[in-house]
Amino acid sequence: GGTSFYKHKALGYERITKERLIPYRQAIKQQAMAQKLHKNPHYINGSTALFEQVYSLEAKLNRVVIYPSNLLHSGNINA
C-alpha cells in the first residue's frame, strides 16, 4: 500500500514531458529488452536497475495524493 515516485536513472527524468517522450520511450524499450523484463512483469516497489525511488507515501485511510500525471510513479504493490 502506497505510492512511490521515481527518477529514470539513465536519463535523469522524473517527469515525461512532450519533449522527453521520444527519448524516454526509446531508452526504456532498449533497457527493458536488454534486461528481459517481459519475462517477469511486475510493479516496481523501490529502486531498481532502471529507476531510483525518490519518494514514497504509505497508504492511509482517507488520504488523497495529488500529483501531475506525467510524474513517474507506481503503486506500492508487493509481488
Q: Give the 3-state secondary structure of residue 52.
A: strand
> Residues 50-75: what's their mean pLDDT?
96
pTM for the full predicted model: 0.90
pLDDT digits (tens, 9 = 90+) for 17-26: 999 999 999 9
**DSSP state, residue 37:** G
d(CA 16, CA 2): 21
> Residues 25-31: what's their mean pLDDT?
97
State the pLDDT at residue 11: 98
User: How confident is residue 79, by pLDDT bands cut at 50, 70 and 90?
Assistant: confident
Q: Enumerate residues 6+ apart whose C-beta is below 8 A from 31.
A: 10, 50
d(CA 78, CA 45): 7
Specify the amino acid at residue 4.
Answer: S
The residue segments making up the domain with residue 6 are 2-75
What is the domain count for the chain? 1
